Amino acid sequence: GNSVTQMEGPVTLSEEAFLTINCTYTATGYPSLFWYVQYPGEGLQLLLKATKADDKGSNKGFEATYRKETTSFHLEKGSVQVSDSAVYFCALEGGSEKLVFGKGTKLTVNP
Amino acid sequence: ETGVTQTPRHLVMGMTNKKSLKCEQHLGHNAMYWYKQSAKKPLELMFVYNFKEQTENNSVPSRFSPECPNSSHLFLHLHTLQPEDSALYLCASSLTSKTDSGNTIYFGEGSWLTVV
């Protein structure tokens, strides 16, 4: 079945540092890929998505590119802020399976 | 505000109690979901409803009983739960439950359940 592997956290950065959270996937066919974010005490919110190879999803300064050759969808941001502190989930949907999530990566940004 | 509202936000219940979680979506979606989020585990899909009909039950114990009276409302009835059922229960909705559609799923803020 489909699966998502994302880097183990937690990740701690200083404000304005560069962020990368790795995500790789296993799926048949051409899945859609997502990043969701969960701020403290809240539910999950869609951050960005890409539905086909080489698509780049972007939102709030975050970007991720759908790389079929490496089966990856790494999340990046050039300059993180304290307000970006949250848990980030990579997810995919495809074939006959519903949305499958990674375990989440907790990001803490210090001032 | 995602358009998916869950109540209560926090619930503490004994193992012999019966309680219900409620979810309402104002997005005009046709599919609704219950997920369980436990510490250090991936999100677990519990149930899927499409146009009020249950289309997926991921081997969830019968002490969790979902109800979907219409496309906008979803309940999770809880009875004789165990302490290990303590978790964040997330409701979600999407336009369709059809896969391979690039469908975006919108989540509520969750109901924190503690079983004592």
User: Is A93 within 8 Å of B100 when comparing Cβ atoms?
Assistant: yes
pLDDT band (50, 70, 90) for residue B37: very high
pLDDT > 70 fraction of chain A, expressed in percent and rounded = 97
| pLDDT at residue number A5 | 94
Residue A28, token pair as written in the block? 């048949």
| pLDDT at residue number B91 | 96
Q: How far is CA A2 from the centre of its chain?
A: 16
- Is residue B68 within 8 A of residue B92, CB to CB? The reply is no
CB atoms within 10 A of CB A29: 9
- Peptide bond preceding A10: is omega within 30 degrees of 0, i.e. cis? yes
Q: Is the pLDDT of residue A4 over 90?
A: yes
User: Is A98 within 8 Å of B102 when comparing Cβ atoms?
Assistant: no
* Separation between Cα atoms, residue B31 and residue B6, nearest integer Å: 16
Closest Cα in chain B to A8 = B40
Ramachandran quadrant class, B102 (left: phi over 0; alpha: psi -120 to 50; beta: rest): left
Q: Which candidate from B4, B100, B104 shows the least CB-CB separation from A95?
A: B100
Q: Which residues contact B61 (CB under 8 A, 6 or more apart)?
A: none
Average pLDDT along chain B: 91
Nearest Cα of chain B lies from the Cα of A79 at a distance, in angstroms, of 26
Q: What is the pLDDT of residues A23-62, one digit of tens each?
A: 999 988 888 999 999 998 888 999 999 999 999 999 999 9
Nearest to A89 by CA among A32, A27, A47: A47
**A&B contacts, CB < 8 Å:** 58
Q: Is the pLDDT of residue B87 over 90?
A: yes
For the segment A85-99, the average pLDDT, to the nearest whole number, is 86
CA-CA-CA-CA torsion sign (B89, B90, B91, B96): negative
* Separation between Cα atoms, residue B7 and residue B31, nearest integer Å: 19
